[in-house]
Amino acid sequence: MDLLLATAKPWTYWIAPLLVLVSVLGLLSVVLQYVFKVVAAKYPKT
C-alpha cells in the first residue's frame, strides 16, 4: 500500500497545476465571451 501511494503522489503533483490552468482559462473564456456578447451589445460603439 505504501508503494502505491509513493508512486501516485508525483502523478498528482504534475496533473494538479495543469487542471488548475485549464480551469482558470475556461473560466476566463466564459467571462470574456459574456463581456463581448452581452455587454458589448448593450453599449454599441458610436
Predicted local distance difference test score (pLDDT) of residue 40: 82
The residue behind cell 498528482 is 12
Dihedral in degrees, nearest 10, Cα atoms 14, 20, 22, 25: -140
Summarize pLDDT for 1-46 with one digit per residue, the tens: 566 666 666 667 788 899 999 999 999 999 999 999 998 888 877 7
Number of structural domains the chain divides into: 1
Report H helices in the chain.
2-34, 40-42
Is the alpha carbon torsion for 35, 36, 37, 40 positive or negative?
Answer: positive
- Please tell me the predicted confidence (pLDDT) of residue 30: 97
pTM of the model: 0.64
- Domain containing residue 16: 1-46
